[in-house]
Amino acid sequence: MLAALVSRTPDEVMVIDFQEIEFLDFSAADEFLTVLVRRVISGELGTRRFVLTNLSDAVRENVQAVLALRGLHCLERRADGSVTVLGRISPPLAQTLDHINRMGRTTSNEVAKMLGDIELNAAANRLKTLADAGLVVEDPTTSGGRGARRIFYSVMPVSAEAN
């Protein structure tokens, strides 16, 4: 699976389909996912990402347990098109991730304005935390303003119909 992800082009998302998998025990989930997630967050894979789909309840439960235990995260694309995080994530980070997934891309300035009740540095910290977890892609670009402005891209943008 790692070789398949490495062979993808930059910015490409590999969909890992579990439709034929009825059960994945904790040990197998740990061995399989931990390697992939850690490679993503290490930066070794650049902007390549993966998303899980068609997880049975039993598989999802073991994946959640492994990721929570290891302090890791990954994304699941549900049958209805929605995107959820597997692993523990705080409500503020989940709210910020939902915004990025709806918008497709965002900046800390846009997040602070959208949420209204947080400072710019808090919005920037949320986005950086999501990027460090491999849940969004950070792209440093220069803006017309002071210094560099970072743009963060959704790994799996959600269409309006899925919300």
Say if CB 59 and CB 28 are below 8 A apart: no
Q: Beta-carbon neighbour count of residue 2 at 10 Å? A: 13
Note down pLDDT in tens along the chain; length 163 residues.
Answer: 778 888 888 888 899 999 999 899 999 999 989 999 999 999 888 888 999 999 999 999 999 999 999 999 999 999 998 899 999 999 999 999 999 999 999 999 999 998 888 899 999 999 999 999 999 998 866 555 565 678 999 998 765 444 3
Q: Beta-carbon neighbour count of residue 119 at 10 Å? A: 10
Domain ranges in the chain are 1-88, 90-157
CA distances from 36 to 67, 112, 121, 137 (A): 11, 31, 30, 16
Classified as helix, coil or strand, 36 is helix
Q: Which CATH class is domain 90-157?
A: mainly alpha
Rounded to two decimals, what is the model's pTM?
0.83
- The residues pairing with 152 across neighbouring beta strands, listed in sequence order, are 106, 138
